[in-house]
Amino acid sequence: MPSLVDAIDALLPQTQCTQCGYDGCRPYAQAIADGRADINRCPPGGPQTIAKLARLLNRPELPLDPECGSYRPFRVALIDEEHCIGCTLCIQACPVDAILGANQCMHTIIEADCTGCELCVAPCPVDCITMVPTEREWTREAADLARAHYHNRNDRLHARHAESASPAARTLANKPTLAAPADPSAKQDRIAQALARARARRP
Domain boundaries, the chain: 4-68, 73-203
Mean pLDDT in residue range 26-41: 97
More confident residue, 188 or 173: 188
Q: What is the pLDDT, as a whole number, of residue 57?
A: 97
- Which carries the bigger pLDDT value, residue 175 or residue 24? 24
The answer, yes or no, to whether residue 181 has pLDDT greater than 60, is no
Q: What is the pLDDT of residue 105?
A: 86
The pLDDT value recorded for residue 187 is 47
Report which residue type is found at 18.
T
What number is the average pLDDT over the span 24-34?
97
- Indicate whether 93 pLDDT > 60: yes
Side chain identity at residue 59, one-letter code = R
Read off the pLDDT of each residue in 15-30 and give the average, rounded to a whole number: 97
125 with 89: CB under 8 angstroms?
Answer: yes
Out of 27-36, 46-55, 153-162, 171-180, least confident range: 171-180
CATH topology for 73-203 is Alpha-Beta Plaits (3.30.70)
According to CATH, the topology of domain 4-68 is 3-methyladenine DNA Glycosylase II; Chain A, domain 3 (1.10.15)
